[in-house]
């Protein structure tokens, strides 16, 4: 279940409350089941996946991709699997742990593990949302945000793209004032 933490320490864990708090940013957050397929669940439990295994996961979850293709014009998808065994993981993540925007929506379906998205709201306040397994998030183009992993340092996420060139981070230069290390 997603957890939203405000700068004043308030924590929300109900989708309706989180949606209300993020409504000014037009962020979509939904629950999407991965289903009960035991082979898929086994793959998701592995720390790392090879190319064939990633494709197997993507095909098993293509009902969501097909829905996004039809409703929103998404053209491609991939699966990213981040974990402590990846060489240069910290270096890879530094691209996203500063406040930035994208020219395209940032769309993720977390299928294993968890990650944190931070947001700057229109009033200047900052919030952080921990997104967990079976949660879909769409961060609209132009939304000021940052991203990092929780202390578990592992996440598997399907990324959906209209155009991958729109996903390059554009740094705003703003400072992150609020950063949780983990929600208790």
Residues annotated within the binding site for Ni(2+) are 100, 102, 106, 145
Flag whether 146 is in a domain: yes
Q: What is the pLDDT of residues 122-181, one digit of tens each?
A: 999 999 999 999 999 999 999 999 999 999 999 999 999 998 776 789 999 999 997 875
Structural domain including 136 reads 3-167
Chain centroid to CA 116 = 7
Express each pLDDT in 89-120 by its tens digit.
999 999 899 999 999 999 999 999 999 999 99
Q: Is residue 179 part of a domain?
A: no
Secondary structure (3-state) at 108 = strand
Cα–Cα nearest to 172, from 96, 89, 117: 96
Binding residues: 100, 102, 106, 145
DSSP-based three-state secondary structure for 22: helix
Number of domains the chain is built from:
1
Rounded to two decimals, what is the model's pTM?
0.93
Distance (Å, whole) CA 176 – CA 8: 15
Binding-site residue numbers for Fe(2+) are 100, 102, 106, 145
**In DSSP terms, which residues pair with 148 in a beta bridge?**
116
Residue 23 lies in a domain: yes
Question: Which whole-number Å values give the CA distances from 13 to 130, 132, 142, 143, in the listed order?
Answer: 10, 11, 25, 22
């Amino acid at each position: 279940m997603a957890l939203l933490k405000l700068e004043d320490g308030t924590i929300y864990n109900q989708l309706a409350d989180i949606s209300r708090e993020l409504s000014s940013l037009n962020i979509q957050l939904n629950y999407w089941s991965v289903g009960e397929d035991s082979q898929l669940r086994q793959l998701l439990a592995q720390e790392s996946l090879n190319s064939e295994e990633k494709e197997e996961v993507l095909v098993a979850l293509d009902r969501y991709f097909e829905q996004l293709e039809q409703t929103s014009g998404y053209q491609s998808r991939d699966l990213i699997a981040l974990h402590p065994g990846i060489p240069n993981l910290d270096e890879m993540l530094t691209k996203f742990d500063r406040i930035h925007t994208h020219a395209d929506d940032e769309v993720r379906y977390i299928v294993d593990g968890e990650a944190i998205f931070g947001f700057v709201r229109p009033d200047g306040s900052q919030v952080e949302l921990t997104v967990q397994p079976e949660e879909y998030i769409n961060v609209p183009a132009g939304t000021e945000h940052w991203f990092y992993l929780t202390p578990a340092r592992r996440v598997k996420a399907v990324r959906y793209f209209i155009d991958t060139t729109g996903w390059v981070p554009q740094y705003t230069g703003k400072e992150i004032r609020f950063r949780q290390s983990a929600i208790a």
